[in-house]
Structure 1
C-alpha cells in the first residue's frame, strides 16, 4: 500500500510540474504574440504614412515643377492645326 501511495504521489508531482510548465510556456507565447501584434500595428501606421507621402510626391503639380526645375523641360509650342482636318 505504501508503494502505491508513493507512485501516486510521484505521478501527482509530475503532473503538477507539467501544468506549471505549460502555463509558463503559454504566458511566454502570449507575450510574444502581443509584441508581434504591436509591431503589426506600428507597421500599419508607417505604411499609411508612406502611402500619404507617396500620393503627395506623385501629384501633377509636383511632377510638373520637378520636370521644369531639375530636368529643364518646357512645354512644346502649340502648332496650328492643319487645314486638311486630320
Structure 2
C-alpha cells in the first residue's frame, strides 16, 4: 500500500510540475504575442505617417513650384489653331 501511495504521489507531483510548466510557457507566449501586437500598432502608425508624408511631397503645387524654381520650366503658351486647320484635322 505504501508503494502504491508513493507512485500516486509521484504522479501527482509530475502532473503539478507539468501544469506549472505549461502555464509558464503560455504566459511567455502571451507576452510575446502582446509585444508583436504592439510592434504591429507602431508599424501601422509609421505607415500612416509615411502615407501622409508621401501625399505632402506629391502635391501639385509643390511639384509645380519645384519645376518652376529648380528646373526653370514654364507653362507653354496655348496653341492657336485656325478654323481651317481644325476642320482638316477632325476628319
Fold agreement, TM-score > 0.5: yes
Gaps of 5+ in 1: none
Displacement of 1:46: 0.9
Q: Secondary structure at the match of 2:73?
A: coil
The equivalent residue for 1:83 is 83
Q: 5 Å matches for 1:1-86?
A: 1-84=1-84, 85=86, 86=89
Alpha-carbon deviations, 1:39-61, whole Å to 9, x = none?
11111111111111111111111
In the alignment, the residues of structure 1 paired with residue 15 and residue 2 of structure 2 have an alpha-carbon distance, to the nearest angstrom, of 20
Displacement of 1:70: 1.8
- CA RMSD across the alignment: 1.1
Using the size of structure 2 for normalisation, the TM-score is 0.86
Aligned residues: 86
